[in-house]
Structure 1
Amino acid sequence: SVMSVLQSVYYKYYLINTMPMTWADAKNYCREKYDDLAIIRSSDDWIKIKEEGAAKSLTAFAWVGLYNDIESWRWSFNDVPLKNQTLRMWYAGEPKNENGNEACGVLGQLGQWWDYPCTDLRPFICYKSSTDKIIPVASLMTWYGAQAYCRKHYTDLASSTTATQNSQLEQVFLLQGSSWFGLFRDTWKWVDNPLQDATNLKWNTGQPNNFAGNEDCVVIFNGLLVDRPCMNLNFFFCHTNRIEIAPLLIKQNANWIVAQNYCRENYLDLYTVTNETDQQMLLKEMTDKNVMGPVWIGLYNDLDTWYWSYNHLPLKNMSLIKWATGNPDNTSGADMCGVLQDVGKWESYPCYYTGPFICYDANNSAANRFIIYYKPPTDWHTGQTYCRKYHTDMASSLTETDNSIMQQLVKSINYNGAWFGLTKETWKWSDGNEPSYLPWGPNQPDNYYSSENCGGARNGLLTDEQCNKQYYFVCSACEC
């Protein structure tokens, strides 16, 4: 099979230095005019954003899309958000996030809560759910070390969701002093991924420090990060995703594999059409260079991806393979689903054909695990939906015994074949993009000359072609 390679996202940066804004207003502006406030992940990103600042002579702070998620306090046990409960026992002025790095909760005197750096060493309080008991542990650990210890030996760090629970925890303070418990929060995040803490951040010396007490947003200055109050007015960087990727027609003949290798070595990959804009750009590039086609693009039909519907088991990993002679043959370019013949052999057919289908039910024993339906005959996908709703899934044929049981079922209804759980993935893009938008030309794909398993473009529409044909080709080019 042809290997697919996932490209990373390419960002293009834009410094907006005409109107200073608050961080929130800057974010809204970027989302309206571009994609978002600037995200900086790779070393290449750091270089490019610095270049954009230098090109526009930036000498001041400028917002980027990094923020401190101070509203994400929650309990370690069951991940329950603090904002969902009424009990709050913060000491006056807490949580204050002193020096910008306090994200873990400590239970102190009178059962009051404090935020502290998670790397501090403290005793801690575990909870065991089976006995509903709290367990004080006097060993000194970081918050995350304590969490791992509690989860290994008990259930988790202790929560305090009611006044009763909090007064129980208060007794522990008398025993071992202020202790870690289950309260914690997320820290720095990029605006495009609120579920994950940001990593590899290039902070300026002494940053973040939360100097003003409310420095929860981030500017970049001389290529390094500084935390600042979100209501300050600053210039800002926006970004767009992959905006600079364009089709580049190479006027030399090659087969599909050679074309793919050329594009990967010299550009990004063979060209991918993910939407109508990509298609229009492809058509314009072909028209500008006076080429009707076909030209190679990054589409291919991966013939090695037959799998069983139940548990998505790849057929190539199975010991039993019983294709009838000449199968799978993909006669029409659409043979993506499997039929079990009455003679026990397997055939590939277009999934929209209608016929009987065989379900598998994990709750039944022996031969009763397989159930055949034939009134009315249905297409493969309707059969799969029915099997998953009323049984377990479409039937798999993993052993000779199962195969012959299903063969007898097909014979018993006087049909010469029935759908079962064999199916395959369809067309794929070389760069790993999902093939959600495929603007095929008239009557395409048709596998007209058989083995037409590579994708071309003619007048901007997709065609299936034999992979060894010699055509011009289109690369995805990027001035990144």
Structure 2
Amino acid sequence: MGPSSLFWLLLWSPIFHLTLSTELRTFVKIKEGSWNEGQRTCVEGGGHLVTLHNRYDVQLIHKLINEPGASAYLGLHEKQDAHRSEWSNGEEMTNWTTEASITYEQKCVAIQNNEWREQPCNEKNYFMCYNASEYQLIEQKKDWCEARLYCRKHFTDLVSINNNTQNEEALRRGANRTFWIGLKHDNYEWEDGQCSTFREGITIRYKSKGCAHQSKDKVILDSCDSGKDVICMQGDTRITVPTDPLTWEEAYDYCKKNHDGLLFIRDQDEQLEVEKWLNATGVPGPVWLGLRQSRVLGFWFWSTIDQVVDFINWRDGPPELPLSYHCGAIDGRGTWSDVKCQTKLPALCIEDMYSTTD
């Protein structure tokens, strides 16, 4: 029995422990139970119920379920304090009324034409961060959760507005732009506390207490007590793909500016997780990694972490000067190759999902 088979056998045993060293998210299906039982099992194993961020996550879970008619619990569930609007820092907004509390929609607030207006949280807007009492308009278009993550990494948080003075300051800094502030309404939350605006294909059944389960590519919110498998995840880094093909330099700049850099692979565990991700999502290869070659010394290194490559998975061994193409990519099966750096390819960015204030 190989290490991979032994790992899965241990996960299905009565004592459940997640032991992978990789920081990339790993997904594991465990035994049937209620949502609460599954949540306890995931946490005891060092993980959480899974959070969905995009359609690639849905495809990964679909691949894990892999049985006709089967379904599995995810981390989305109805909040105990549903119908409550709150600021990004957790403070309740007591005098804000919203139809979202009735329709169970996720709504976020932007300032537009100097007025507060509800918008779907997955829309892209500029946004306003703060440090202490200083407000800063960020002229990058992000959805509400992406904006919150950016503010928490680079400032303190999305701005909260509690009086007329703060509102006037936000309007002054906003300079008649449309921008997110920190107010959100959502009757549902993810078990691990992550913020996600992804709601595509999620069906809510109003008469039942809401816990999410996925069957094939559909996500349904209904009973929390049905006997279902449970999907656990461990790791704080997810893979995301820019919309447009980019040169290697463009991909490096884009991933550094909008996420946490180009993907790097340090060992066999991380290589296997990337291969699972590529297989499940069907992202066509080759796609850019953070692999770059020194044109002077010839060694390959991970640009995101400034680390010389140790573990390798090249097709025919490390490409060497003067015949190499200097930039590294990975194909759909997980094999690395060197590619001309000016070639336009999709890229694999990494995103640390947890901010320092979470």
Short-chain TM bin? 0.3 to 0.5
TM-score, with structure 2 as normaliser: 0.36
What TM-score does the superposition give when structure 1 sets the normalisation length? Answer: 0.29
- Which one has more relative contact order, counting CA pairs under 8 Å at least 6 apart? 2
